[in-house]
Structure 1
């Protein structure tokens, strides 16, 4: 099953100094992604509520709401809590800064001056994860739509499969479905598919803690189940 997913992800850069924003934009420019900047923690939170980001580069030393407080607020909001944060700070900082950042849920911590190659490499990891998660989300939605279309009610109030008559293997006298060749009735397969969709949605919400291979396995299993259910309905026609 193919799914078209936009190649470009969004990266949020947060720093109170314009020259730092310009420098970071220059470093990340070769990645050819959408770069969004914010000059304060408040502006960063507003931007994250307006759109989705693959990763946030967050300066620690900012006036008002500093990087630590901003990171804590990001992780407290359901809409933004799963977005990876890379904290950026100068070299003259307290030794416990890294510990404080990781305890707030930051994914990484870099000290200035930042090596452009190192920064692009770290950001690319999160861009790749974002692309995979968006691909899997699109596939899950396509499977959901396929499932709905397969069982959409027709004018008579019955599903498309039911409108064609009882499925093969149903005993006319009782109306009860027998086991299909795959060992499940159509109703049981439908219930299993619905359960898998719920599990995939839960994995997508917890994308930071779930392996991409687990997503792929669940999607592959779901595709097979939908095809089996489609073949059952096709044989019943």
Structure 2
């Protein structure tokens, strides 16, 4: 069976002002994803340790732990370092804000007021990347299990029906991997094709 990855992703909104969180939620509502709010940097870090997020929209100007410090802490943790961050700031921001944000590891930087369409478009890119990465992880795990099964002695080979099923699963995984843009996808696809050929060889030997 081809692995299925849920379409819904999680987005974390971080801002100390309630009206800004409401506005962001309204802009991103049409994307139909799970949206989680945090009103401080500390709250954001706790949320990110509880669940996975596809992207974080982080306000720069916050009391206590500001956006830069929050982003830096996110990038220091192994569990959260790869989550893309979009920094948000007002029109009166210092000219070096963008440089500081990118230096910390932020993926993008937007100045308020921003175009809703632009924000949705930028967020959609990260949502699509998250789905592809999760799909690749699921496919890699399924391939690992199939590889483990492939290491069994020929004498212990599965019945013909099971070998046919495994070959079909491998073909489906290979097809999806060929159309996936991500680190390791091509190598996994090649390995999948090799194992599929091995399984087909076992089918021939089993039939004989």
Fold match, TM over 0.5?
Answer: yes
DSSP-derived class of the 2:146 partner: helix
- Residue of structure 2 in register with 1:58 after alignment: 58
1:218 paired with 2:201, answer no
**Of Structure 1 and Structure 2, which has the larger fraction of its residues in helix?**
2
CA distance in 2, matches of 1:121, 1:235: 50
Superposed CA offset, 1:100-131 (max 9, x none):
00000000000111210110010011011111
CA distance in 1, matches of 2:146, 2:123: 35
| Superposition misfits of 4+ residues, deviation over 3 angstroms | 213-216, 232-237
**How many angstroms does 1:232 deviate by?**
3.6
- Residue of structure 1 in register with 2:164 after alignment: none
1:95 paired with 2:95, answer yes
**How many angstroms does 1:233 deviate by?**
3.3
CA distance in 2, matches of 1:111, 1:36: 21
DSSP-derived class of the 2:113 partner: coil
**How many angstroms does 1:218 deviate by?**
2.2
Aligned length: 185
Superposed CA offset, 1:110-164 (max 9, x none):
011121011001001101111111111111111111122333xxxxxxx342446
Gaps of 5+ in 1: 152-158, 165-210
- Residue of structure 1 in register with 2:202 after alignment: 233
CA distance in 1, matches of 2:118, 2:58: 16
Q: 27-36 or 135-144, which moves further after superposition?
A: 135-144
DSSP-derived class of the 1:127 partner: helix
Superposed CA offset, 1:197-216 (max 9, x none):
xxxxxxxxxxxxxx925543
- Residue of structure 2 in register with 1:140 after alignment: 140
- Whether the 8 Å contact between 2:55 and 2:84 is mirrored in structure 1 is yes
CA RMSD between the two structures: 1.9
- Residue of structure 2 in register with 1:193 after alignment: none
Structure with bigger gyration radius: 1
2:154 to 161, 168, 180: 161
- Whether the 8 Å contact between 2:13 and 2:37 is mirrored in structure 1 is yes
**How many angstroms does 1:235 deviate by?**
4.0
**How many angstroms does 1:93 deviate by?**
1.3
- Whether the 8 Å contact between 2:133 and 2:182 is mirrored in structure 1 is no
Superposed CA offset, 1:33-91 (max 9, x none):
00011010011111111111110000000000000000000000001000000000111
1:48-87 correspondence runs (5 A): 48-87=48-87
Superposed CA offset, 1:184-208 (max 9, x none):
xxxxxxxxxxxxxxxxxxxxxxxxx
CA distance in 2, matches of 1:103, 1:32: 31
DSSP-derived class of the 1:56 partner: strand
DSSP-derived class of the 2:121 partner: helix
1:24 paired with 2:17, answer no
